[in-house]
DNA sequence: GGATCAGGTGGGAAATAGTGGGAAATAATA
DNA sequence: TATTATTTCCCACTATTTCCCACCTGATCC
């Protein structure tokens, strides 16, 4: 697996299935993915290996006895589910997760190097719009980066 | 690879293909390029090596768990895709990126020494027009520079 | 001037990707 | 147990992408 990148727009069908873009599929190790609730209203999809690493790190830092830890566990760890990519290259997204991300029909699929995000197209548009100035500010700060 | 420079005007065809000017092509190391969303409504094209450097620097500073980092990742890293230059010297620009830059038919291709920008011709004209005074101000600040 | 070449453009055909929907299997409900 | 939903598997249609070839135009050369 190299880098998962690219922004794509596919449609969720009536049965809750969404095609993963072939370009991303090609980079995945197998036909299994772990899906969970992301931060900002999107879903995160990880290749099993990456998920193992991430979930292990999350668990390390957490304890039953801290409110914050429980929150992280409930919000990130608990909703996670393993999904299989079907022969047509689609995943069936569980209803609870669809609702969480407000997925409607038009979805945006983002490859973010090591994992994938799924957004409702309209929600993503809004997110970008609302954060445009924040982005520009962040970009200015990157000013030091040179090619 | 020497310096990529020059301003060119080519047309995007119905299939979303755009010829890279031969002058620029000649300076590229291979037939692979990485495109991504630029800042301001244009696309950036990098030779793979340059992109590797830049994306590595961006990734360094980022984490899943910081809002700003996610924004940078989504806006710059995620939309990136590797493209192949075909036998006729064209690249096929993915739809999401075409839309982002508002590419229509007439495109402007700018060689900016280490990378290339692609603009919709009309959008570029507007950009220059709207930023003329800003440009003049910036030029003043350079005042000290001598030949 | 006519031939040749290179850069840019367009389009057909084949292959691939995305989408929708039926039927069987499984689960849920009464 | 009968009935209704939901999920899974599979097939079929359509759109998009890819690959290849042909054409046009302007520059260069003989």
CB of residue A32 closer than 7 A to nucleic acid strand D? no
A146 has pLDDT over 70: no
**Separation in Å: C16 C1' and A88 CA:** 12
- Is residue A132 predicted with pLDDT exceeding 90? yes
Closest CA to A117 of B75, B57, B48, B145: B75
Q: How far is A113 from chain B (nearest CA, A)?
A: 7
Give kind and range of the element (H or E) at residue B133.
helix B132-141
**Residue A60, helix vs strand vs coil:** helix
pLDDT tens string, chain B, 147 residues long: the values are 567 788 999 999 999 999 999 999 988 888 899 999 999 999 999 999 999 999 988 888 777 888 989 999 999 999 999 999 999 999 999 999 999 999 989 999 999 988 999 999 999 999 999 999 999 998 988 877 777
Mean pLDDT in chain A? 89
Per-residue tokens: B92? 């096929």
How many other β-carbons are positioned within 10 Å of the β-carbon of residue A7?
27
The answer to whether the beta carbons of residues B52 and B35 sit under 8 Å apart is: no
Q: Which nucleotides of D are covered by protein (CB under 7 A)?
A: 7-12, 16-22
Tokens 């806006």, residue located: B75
Average pLDDT over residues A118-126: 95
Determine the pLDDT at residue B61. Answer: 73
- Looking at residue B29, its pLDDT comes to 84
Residue A139, exposed/middle/buried by CB under 10 A (0-12, 13-18, 19+)?
middle
- The Å distance, CA of A86 to C1' of C23, is 18
List CB contacts (< 8 A) between A113 and chain B.
Answer: 55, 59, 73, 77
Supply the pLDDT for residue B1: 55
| d(C-alpha A25, C-alpha B126), whole Å | 39
Proportion of chain A above pLDDT 70, given as a percent: 95
pLDDT at A23: 94
B73: three-class secondary structure by DSSP:
helix
Residues in A touching B70 (Cβ below 8 Å): 39-40
pLDDT at B141: 87
User: Which nucleotide has the least CA–C1' distance to B14?
Assistant: C10
Q: What is the pLDDT of residue B122?
A: 93
Nucleotide at minimal C1' distance from the A22 CA: C17
CA A45-A142-B135 angle, to 5 degrees, is: 125
**Which tokens in the block code for residue A45?**
């999809």
| Rounded average pLDDT over A5-14 | 94
**CA(B14)–C1'(C11) in Å?**
10
SS3 state of residue B46: strand
Q: How confident is the model at residue A144 (pLDDT cuts 50, 70, 90)?
A: low
* Average pLDDT estimate for A38-47: 93
Which residue segments constitute the domains of chain A, with CATH numbers given? 4-144 (3.40.1550.20)
Confidence of residue A145 (pLDDT cuts 50, 70, 90): low
Q: What is the mean pLDDT of residues A116-132?
A: 95
Which pLDDT does position B27 carry in this prediction?
Answer: 84
Q: pLDDT tens across A56-77, in order?
A: 888 877 676 777 788 888 888 8
Q: Per-residue DSSP letters for B106-130?
A: EEEEEEEETEEEEEEHHHHHHHHHH
């Amino acid at each position: 697996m190299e880098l998962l990148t690219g922004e794509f727009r596919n449609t969720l069908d009536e049965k809750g299935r969404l095609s993963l873009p072939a370009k991303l599929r090609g980079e995945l190790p197998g036909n299994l993915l772990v899906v969970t609730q992301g931060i900002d209203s999107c879903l995160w999809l990880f290749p099993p290996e990456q998920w193992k690493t991430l979930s292990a790190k999350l668990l390390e830092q957490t304890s039953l006895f801290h409110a914050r830890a429980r929150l992280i566990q409930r919000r990130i760890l608990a909703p996670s589910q393993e999904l299989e990519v079907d022969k047509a290259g689609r995943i069936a997204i569980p209803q609870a997760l669809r609702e969480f991300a407000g997925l409607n029909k038009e979805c945006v699929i983002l490859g973010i190097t090591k994992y994938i995000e799924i957004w409702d197209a309209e929600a993503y548009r809004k997110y970008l719009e609302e954060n445009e100035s924040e982005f520009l500010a962040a970009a200015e700060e990157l000013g030091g980066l040179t090619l």
